[in-house]
Amino acid sequence: MGLSRDEKQGLINHIYKKHPSLWVEDTFALTLDHWQIEMLDSPKNRICLNIHRQGGKSFMSSLICLHRALFYPKSLSLIVAPALTQSQENFGKIRDHIDQLPNRPAFDESTKLRLKMGNGSRILCLPGGTKGKTIRGFSRPDVIVEDESAQCSDELFVALTPMMATYPECKFILASTPYGQRGHFYKTWEEGGPEWLKLRVVASECRRITKEFLDEERVRKGPYVYSQEYEGAFVASDTQLISHEAILKSLNSDIPIIEI
């Protein structure tokens, strides 16, 4: 005896819940990149994405939040960006995804920066320009995405992490293009332990960007900016006399400390 229609749909939903990448590809008729599949389906709750410009960071961040909202009722997803315009852009991507759904969900609340679905799930896109002072009231989120993480202040990062204190299973994602050898994004990439899934993607690996365009950008931007924007390099500032890497290499723990 075969499965009923509802049983088949229940089985499909179970698969989609466990493998978000399958849901994305089937629902939106997309062919995802390998890193996008790994990011969406990873069992790890700490993810650091070092992705080149126009690599799809914000696009994937909006999808993982929408998936959580649909498949986990009463969930809370936060996307935090450095500025209001970036938060609005992220929210626009979420609304675009929702408009493409075959069965559009009902909403209890819908504003320019937040959604509350009929199943109780919420998605909020927040500007972090006030160094986290306006986001401290949130607790126990299911997903936190810090978009353009290298551009976000360390004070914002400090305000975000306590939200996970009573729910460490929160999916915490730092997504950015590098911005020098400083800040919490750089430190996480360099020093984050095995609990972090770290994914680095350079522009030459992206099938949506042509070699001709990258060649033009290399000339326009110069080697310093190009390597940072398109090759995932944490380069020292061109005004910095000694790089952070050189400073670390100069440290010698074998030299005894003489107390005076």
The domains located in the chain, with CATH, are 21-28+42-250 (3.40.50.300)
Per residue in 16-58, pLDDT (tens digit) is 999 999 999 999 999 999 999 999 999 999 999 999 999 999 9
Residue 246, pLDDT score: 46
Instruction: Name the residue type at position 216.
Output: E
Interval 108-135 mean pLDDT: 84
Record the pTM: 0.86
CB 107 within 8 A of CB 115: yes
| Interval 152-156 mean pLDDT | 93
pLDDT at 237: 61
Asked whether the beta carbons of 87 and 151 are under 8 A apart, the reply is no
Which residue has better confidence, 188 or 4? Answer: 188
The pLDDT value recorded for residue 118 is 93
In whole angstroms, how large is the CA radius of gyration of the chain? 21
Calculate the average pLDDT of the chain: 88
- Rounded CA-CA distance 104/83 in Å is 29
Arithmetic mean of pLDDT, 191-209: 97
Three-state helix/strand/coil letters over the chain: CCCCHHHHHHHHHHHHHHCHHHHHHHHHCCCCCHHHHHHHHCCCCEEEEEECCCCCHHHHHHHHHHHHHHHCCCCEEEEEECCHHHHHHHHHHHHHHHHCCCCCCCEEEECCCEEEECCCCEEEEEECCCCCCCCCCCCCCCEEEEECHHHCCHHHHHHHHHHHCCCCCCEEEEEECCCCCCHHHHHHHHHCCCCEEEEEECHHHCCCCCHHHHHHHHHHHHHHHHHHHHCCCCCCCCCCCCCHHHHHHHCCCCCCCCCC
% of the chain at pLDDT higher than 90: 71
According to DSSP, the residues that pair with 124 across neighbouring strands are 78, 114
Q: How far apart are CA 162 and CA 169, in angstroms?
A: 13
Q: Which of 6, 156, 25, 24 is nearest to 79 (CA)?
A: 156
Quick one: 242 exposed, middle or buried, by C-beta within 10 A (0-12, 13-18, 19+)? exposed
User: Which of 87 and 232 is assigned the larger pLDDT?
Assistant: 232
pLDDT at 257 over 60: no
